[in-house]
Amino acid sequence: MSRPISTRWTSALLLLVAACGSSSGGSVEASGPPNGQPEGPAQVRLVSPLPNGEWTLPAGDLANTRYSPLAQLTPQNVKGLKIVSTVTTGVPHGHEGNPLVVNGVMYVVTPYPNNLMALDLTKNGQLKWLFRPHPDPRSVGIACCDVVNRGASYADGKIIYSLLDGHVVAVDAEKGTEVWRATVGDINRGETLTAAALAVGDLVIVGNSGGELGVRGKVVALDVRTGHEVWRGYNTGPDNEVLIDGTTKMFYPHDQGKDLGVKTWPVDQWKLGGGTVWGWLSYDPETQTLFYSTGNPGVWNPDVRPGDNKWSCAVFARDLKTGHVKWVTQLVPHDSWDYDEINENIAIDMEWQGKMRKVLLHPGRSGFMFVIDRETGEVLSAEKFEPTNWASSWDLKKGEPVKDPTKQTKHGVVVKNICPSSTGAKEFSPSAVSPRTGMLYIPAHNTCMDYEGVDANYIEGTPYLGASVKMYPGPGGYQGELIGWDLKTQKKAWSIQEPVLPLTGGVLATGGDLVFYGTMDGWFKAVDAKTGAVMWQMRLGSGIIGNPITFLGADGKQYVAIYAGVGGWMGAVAFPDVSEDDPYAVLGVVGAMKDIKKYTGPGDALYVFSL
């Protein structure tokens, strides 16, 4: 990797700025631990450490930590970081997810048409092969929020990933030929696949998208070798289809009972109930448990679906081999704001009140930072990390939010100034944790909204919404914030406020005590993991909504890679064919993003950096 893969530069790239402390509008706020709290970081143990300088899974490891022990790059030398390679994918849409690095080859999955590129890192990034899966083009018109893809997994000599049209494909990592293709979703019913498939042992797990089209959320386990379905678990409906039985142990009384996935809905509404799984999957090897969270209930108008609407907006723990549900905890019963809780569940062992606990870290779209016992589903802590007023708090004893009735949305009434907005206090963009600092690094939003429930008619394969929404920047003069969250105190240790646009890109933490992240206006930054001080930054050719990775090259040097290609739900307003005149457009997000075209435009680039 001694010279660029590509020298195609846009006019924006000619304006690259790389300087420690260069102005991009961000500001750092730091705070120490509260009085009476012990000094020093929380003790954190990784349950699935990242191996040998490669990046073979969506989050690097099975537990979703997005932590790499590589330490060649440090706060002292990172100012020398420079671009060593660029590649264009030819698809100027939202580049979510991240590449993989396996056996000296980098694998890049594009947005629709979901091409897979293999770049030989031992030959200066030369294109080794290009696989074109040719998904059904009808899926483009069905996908809710841009034609994105969140990445792939490597297993059994294959690159395995989702296609927008409801299929999962396995490609021979050496030859670039298709090994198998499995049908998981039906685009005729509104199902698409945008989530990253997670390979664990001899299984690969994937969830469906389409919560705004009246689909029924599910996860499906496929055989890595053949693509044959091993088990399927739905998130709404009767217990036998959700895979709940007498051995399932729900922690909270209101989550206990038979067939709550039916009884907490109006008649047959659970069949259109959403609860999809378009976020991240994680796994605990010690207990062989799969964890994931579910999306919003359908429809957005809460008056159409009285009841708790289980198991939408919930965290699931399933046995990997059988899909059997070990426990479920619903975080937002009767969601009235589109608070998909699809965000990552990071599995770590952590010191908690004087002893080590097996926990999940779940920074929720609802604005609460949850710490959950991963053996029982008990919520140990739920603190607000962004302006949040739909609930005053989260009652740990009862296991439910304390909702503010003045922020309850309803049919035919415009309820104003609800925080956060439907895009959440944090989107799908994944956090990272560092065992060295005892911190979680959260890429957050600060947007609020006005919300009115309206009529909705279900027609298979078409939008099924039932709400009129207008979003706008939240209080405080910023829209994005990178938060260094102290796991011992469950408070912000420091934060970097981004005034221009929300953060919708992921985070990487490293053994060199650096945190990497990107902004929607195109800045890629490295900050001191302990203090939040910005040590290096560079303006790229498009907004960043992807996730950084790091790896060792064939020369033994540490590299960092990131996509720059704005898009997704919020970033779609940057596309030329999207008007910023109607604040209710793009499911209400235009009101918060009306200025995005001033700062960025579509892109399709992969960047690789090193000293």
What's the pLDDT tens digit per position in 416-452?
999 999 999 999 999 999 999 999 999 999 999 999 9
C-alpha to C-alpha distance for 313 and 341, rounded to whole angstroms: 5
For the chain, counts of helices (H) and of strands (E): 5, 40
> Which residues are CB-contacts of 157 (< 8 A; sequence separation ≥ 6)?
172, 173, 174
* Number of neighbouring beta carbons within 10 Å of residue 581: 7
- 198, 205 contact by CB (below 8 A): yes
pLDDT score of 19 more than 50: no
pLDDT at 41: 87
Amino acid identity for residue 494 in this structure: W
Residue 561 pLDDT class (50, 70, 90 cuts):
very high
- Domain residues for 78? 13-610
C-alpha to C-alpha distance for 35 and 489, rounded to whole angstroms: 10
> What are the beta bridge partners of residue 328?
316
C-alpha to C-alpha distance for 68 and 89, rounded to whole angstroms: 26
Let me know if residue 5 belongs to a domain.
no
Element (H, E) at 108: strand 105-109
Averaged confidence pLDDT in the chain:
93
* CA-to-CA dists, residue 29 to 32, 72, 411, 481, 508, angstroms: 11, 27, 40, 10, 20
C-alpha to C-alpha distance for 609 and 606, rounded to whole angstroms: 10
CA 250 to centroid of chain Cα atoms: 26
SS3 content of the chain, % helix, strand, coil (to 5): 10, 35, 55
Domain count, the chain: 1
* CA-to-CA dists, residue 151 to 90, 102, 174, 374, angstroms: 17, 14, 18, 25
Let me know if residue 341 belongs to a domain.
yes
pLDDT score of 40 more than 80: no
pLDDT tens sequence across 258-283: 999 999 999 999 999 999 999 999 99
Let me know if residue 473 belongs to a domain.
yes
pLDDT tens sequence across 485-503: 999 999 999 999 999 999 9
Q: What angle do CA 509, 514, 517 make, to 5 degrees?
A: 65
pLDDT at 26: 63
Residue 33 pLDDT class (50, 70, 90 cuts):
very low
Full strand arrangement of the beta sheet holding 218-223: 198-200, 203-207, 218-223, 229-234
35: domain CATH number is 2.140.10.10
- 549, 606 contact by CB (below 8 A): no
In 82-136, which residue ranges form alpha helices assigned H by DSSP?
none
Amino acid identity for residue 78 in this structure: V
Let me know if residue 2 belongs to a domain.
no
**In the Cβ-directed half-sphere of 572, how many Cα atoms lie within 13 Å?**
17
pLDDT at 28: 59
The DSSP letter of residue 105 is: E
Let me know if residue 139 belongs to a domain.
yes
Q: Which residue has the tokens 């892109």?
A: 603
The DSSP letter of residue 569 is: H
Closest CA to 468 of 313, 595, 365, 585: 585
Q: C-alpha dihedral over 119, 177, 103, 554, to 10 degrees?
A: -30
Token pair belonging to 6: 């590509």
Q: Average the pLDDT over 525-530 and give the result.
A: 98
Token pair belonging to 162: 């989702």
pLDDT score of 587 more than 70: yes
Let me know if residue 4 belongs to a domain.
no
Let me know if residue 8 belongs to a domain.
no
pLDDT at 507: 98
C-alpha to C-alpha distance for 586 and 580, rounded to whole angstroms: 10
Q: Which residue has the tokens 């048409």?
A: 113
pLDDT tens sequence across 353-405: 999 999 999 999 999 999 999 999 999 999 999 999 999 999 999 999 999 99
- 496, 344 contact by CB (below 8 A): no
* Number of neighbouring beta carbons within 10 Å of residue 303: 14
Active site residues: 212, 296, 338
* CA-to-CA dists, residue 64 to 347, 352, 359, 360, 431, angstroms: 7, 20, 13, 10, 9
Residue 39 pLDDT class (50, 70, 90 cuts):
low
- Exposure b/e, 6-32, CB count within 10 A at least 16 = b: eeeeeebbeeeebeeeeebebebeeee
**In the Cβ-directed half-sphere of 68, how many Cα atoms lie within 13 Å?**
28
pLDDT score of 551 more than 50: yes
